[in-house]
Structure 1
Amino acid sequence: MQRPEYLSKYYFDWELFDIAINGKSALDTKFFITPMNSKEQVEKFLIGYGLDPNEVVGKAELFGIFQESLQFIRRYFLKEGNPDGLDLNIPDALYMISDITDLFLMATENNFQKRIQRLWAEIVLKIMHVILHVDKDLRTNYFSIIQTQIFDRFYKYVYRDQENNLFLGVKGSDEKIALYDFQTKSKKSRDSVIIKLLNKDESVAEELFDRVGLRFVTHNPFDSLRVIKFLMERNIVIPHNIKPSRSVNSLMDIKKFRKRYWTILKQAIRKNFSHEEFAKALEQASKECSFEKAIELDRNKHRSKQYKAMQFTSMQLIIYKDPFLQEFNKIKHYARDLDQQNVLAKKVLALDTSLLARDIRFFYPYEIQIMDKDSYKINTEGEASHEDYKKAKLKAAMKRVFWALLKNLNIQADDL
C-alpha cells in the first residue's frame, strides 16, 4: 500500500524535542547532526549557527578549529598522546578533508559501510562545537581585568602579622580570623576549559562558574562560618548575588550546630563564660557537628566523596573602561587645538563615538570554597587529590564523546 504524500510533513526527529524541552544535551544524542545531503544544506546550517562558510576569514578560522580538534583528540583521548587513552586511530579520510562542508556530509552519511568514518566525523564536530563556544565567549577578552577586580576585594583583608601568621580581617584591629591557608585559582588552561565543558550538560562557556575561585582554609569548622559572616558584613560578598543552585555544604551539619550554638549561648550567660571559653566551646561543637562522611554531591560527580567544604558562587559587577576610547578622546582634544583647516583634524572631530560605551559593565561569577585544615588535608590527598579529579573528568569526557563509536566497536566504556 502506498503511503499518503502528506505523511512526509509529519516525520519527527524525537531527539530534537528531548533537546528543546526535556533537558538533553546535543552531545548525548544518537545523531549529533541531522541528515544533510548537500553542501547547500550544510551552508544553511552553518549560517543558522552564526558562521558564514563563504567568508574567507571565517572559513579559515573554522578550518583551523577543525585541525585543532583533531590534535585535541589525539592529545587527550588516544594512546598516542595519553597512556590512559583509547587504542584507536583517526581514519585517514578525516585528514584528507580540505572543506568543512565535507566533514558535515561525512558525519551524516547514510552508508553502513562507512559508519565508523561517520562516527569519527561526529566526534570531531562535537569537539569543534565546544571549542567554538570557548573562543567566542566575549568575556574571555576581559579575564585579567575580571580577576583583578574580584581578587582585590579579598586581598585587602588578607594579611600576615609579624610572626607570619595568616589572617582574614582588618589589620590593626581585633576583627580577624586566623587562617591556615588562603589560595586563589590560577586561570584555567584553554584545554582544561574544553574538557570541563565536555563534561557539562550545558556545553557553553557561559555555564562555567569557577574560572575565578578563592579558597579559605581555617583552623576549625566554626571559623569557616566566621569567614562567611565577615565576607558578608564587610560587603565583600553580596548575598543577593549568590547563585542558589551552586551552593553546597559537605563540611558541617548547620542545623545540628545551630541547636548546639543556642545551648552554648545560654550556658555562657548562665555560667558567665569568658570569651576564650565561649569560643572554645563553639569550636568543639563545630567539630562534633562536622559530617563524618562528606555528603554525596549531585553537582560534581567527579569530585571524590571524601571532599568536604562549604562552596558557593557569587556574581561580581565588573567595570571595564575601554582604553581605546580614553586614548581616542585625547586625540580629539589634540585635534581641537590644530588648525581648523587641517583635514585629518576635521575627520577626527567628525567621528561619532556616541555608540561606544565609556564603561562596559557585566556580572561575572566566582566560586568560594571554605574548609577547615583537617578537611583540606583529606581533600588534597589520596582519592580526593586534584590529579585524580582531573583524570576522572578526562575519562568521563572521553566516554561521553566516544560512546557511539565504542558501542559500534563492541568496546565496553565501563571497562576503560
Structure 2
Amino acid sequence: MDELQATLKTQQRFSLNWTYLDAITRGVSVIDMGALALRNLGDARQFAREYGYDIDQPGVLDYLRGIQREAIAFVRAQFLGPDQQGLLPAELEDDADPLRLLVLASQRAHRFEPTRLWACALLKVMHGLFYIDNNLKLRHFNAIRQQVFAGLDAVLQVEGEQQYLTDGLICLPLLHVDRKRNKGRHSILVKLLQKPEYVAADIHDHLGVRLTLNTRIECLLALDLLRRAHLVTLTNLEISRVRNTLVDLCAAKEVFNCHRAEIDRCQGYPQQVLQQMDRELARISQQQTQRDNPHSAADFQSIQLTVRKMIHLPAAALGLPPESASAAEEGTEGPIANGGGTSFFFAYEIQLLDGASFEKSQQGAASHEAYKRRQVESARRRVLGAELLDWLLAH
C-alpha cells in the first residue's frame, strides 16, 4: 500500500464547487437548487448509496422506478395544465435506470437547459416521496390515531343528533365536529414542497379536530374545558404554533366579568346571554391579526393549537419480539421500552371557532379549497423554479 502524503494535485483542474459550498454554509434547501453536481453514473451510484438506496440490493431498482413514475404523474397532475402535458422531455420518462436522472440534473449547470431543470423538478418530488415512505410515524398511523382520538372521545358526547363537549362540570353544545383522520400521501407531499425546511419539516396536522361552537365566548369556555381535561396544557403545547385570530382575551375577560353573575342566575343554558356577550365583545375587541401561515386567508379566524400526545407502541406493533434487545440500551428504561416497544411524542391540531367564522371559512378566500389552491401554486413555483416557469409560458 502506497504511503499517504499530503497533496492537492488532481487529475483535473483544481477547483471548488462554490455554488454548493455557499448553499451548504448558508443552509439553502435542496429544493431551491437548480442543479446537482454529479459527474457520471458512477458518481450517481455512490450518491444514491449514501442517500440510502443501493441499487445492487434486491427490489431497490424496482422501487426507485415506481417512485420516478409517481413523481412524473404528480408533476403532470398538480403542476401542468392540459396543454402542457407533452412538454416533459421523453427521456425523463425512461425508467430503465433512475440514476440517469441524477446525471441529467447535473448537466450544463451554468446555462439554461430545460432537460436539467425538468430532471431537478422530478428529483425534488421524489425526495419528498422517499421521506414519506420512510417516516416511521406514518407507518404506524392507525395506532397513533387511535391513541390521539381516545382522549378527545372522552370529552365529546352525542345525544340524539346533538354533539356536546363536556367534562362533567359543564356541557357545551357544538355546531360541528370535524376530525382530520389522515392527510393523503400527495397532500403531505404538497405541504412539504412549499415549506422552507422541505423534508426536515414536521407536518403537524396529520391528525386533528375542529370544534365549532355558537359564540366566541363559548370557544373560550371550550378551551378552558380542554385545559381541565388536560388535553391542552402548557407542557404539551407547541408554543411556537399557537395561533389566535379569534378572540381578544383582554376584551373577553372584561365582558365575562360583567356577565358572570347573570350566567350564574340562569336556570337553563344561557344562550341569549352568551350571544349578548359576543356582541359586546365584537364592539370592544382589537382585531387579532397573528398569521404566520402564508396560505391562510387574512380573514380566517380561529384559535389553533398544536399539542403533543405521547404515543406508546408495543413490540408487537413494531414487529419485534416481546423482549427486544434494544430495550436494554441506555436511555430506554420505562414500562413500554422494557417490553421491547417504543414511545414518542406525536403532534396534532385542535381548532376552535364560532359559527360565524365557520360560515366564512366555507367560502371565498378563507375556504379550504382556496387554501389548497394557494398551497399547490406555492409548491409549483418552488419545484419548477423561475426559469422553467418562464419556459413553460413561452411554450
- Match for residue 165 of structure 2 among 168, 177, 184: 168
Residue 33 of structure 2 aligns with which residue? 29
Post-superposition Cα deviations, 1:222-266, rounded to whole Å, max 9, x if no partner, equal 11111111111111223211111111111122233334445x27x
Structure 2: gaps spanning 5 or more residues: 1-7, 328-336
The 4+ residue runs of structure 1 with deviation greater than 6 A are 111-114, 324-329
Q: CA deviation at 1:184?
A: 0.7
Deviates more, 1:304-313 or 1:86-95: 86-95
Residue 46 of structure 1 aligns with which residue? 48
Q: Which has the larger radius of gyration?
A: 1
**Counterpart check, 1:69 vs 2:71:** yes
- Match for residue 59 of structure 1 among 42, 58, 61: 61
TM-score w.r.t. length of structure 2: 0.83
SS at match of 1:72: helix
Q: Is the 8 A contact 2:177 2:209 kept in 1?
A: yes
Residue 199 of structure 1 aligns with which residue? 194
Residue 212 of structure 2 aligns with which residue? 217
Q: Is the 8 A contact 2:192 2:201 kept in 1?
A: no
The residue correspondences of 1:238-277 to structure 2 (distance < 5 A) are 238-262=233-257, 264=258, 274=265
- Match for residue 399 of structure 1 among 373, 376, 381: 381
- Match for residue 389 of structure 1 among 359, 362, 371: 371
Residue 291 of structure 2 aligns with which residue? 297
Distance in 2 of aligned mates of 1:156 and 1:289: 36
Change (3 A) 1:327 1:133: closer
Q: Is the 8 A contact 2:128 2:192 kept in 1?
A: yes
Change (3 A) 1:327 1:121: closer
Distance in 2 of aligned mates of 1:42 and 1:106: 10
Matched letter for residue 54 of structure 1: D
Q: Is the 8 A contact 1:252 1:289 kept in 2?
A: no
**Counterpart check, 1:373 vs 2:378:** no
Distance in 2 of aligned mates of 1:55 and 1:221: 58
Q: CA deviation at 1:175?
A: 1.7
Q: CA deviation at 1:188?
A: 1.4
SS at match of 1:120: helix
Q: CA deviation at 1:161?
A: 3.1
Q: CA RMSD in A?
A: 3.2
Count of residues in correspondence between the two structures: 371
TM-score w.r.t. length of structure 1: 0.79
Structure 1: gaps spanning 5 or more residues: 330-351
Q: CA deviation at 1:19?
A: 4.8
**Counterpart check, 1:323 vs 2:344:** no
**Counterpart check, 1:287 vs 2:287:** no
Q: Is the 8 A contact 1:217 1:371 kept in 2?
A: yes
Matched letter for residue 246 of structure 2: L
- Match for residue 141 of structure 1 among 139, 142, 145: 139
Q: Is the 8 A contact 2:65 2:95 kept in 1?
A: no
Post-superposition Cα deviations, 1:290-315, rounded to whole Å, max 9, x if no partner, equal 566x62622x2122222110101011
Q: CA deviation at 1:373?
A: 0.5
Distance in 1 of aligned mates of 2:209 and 2:263: 38
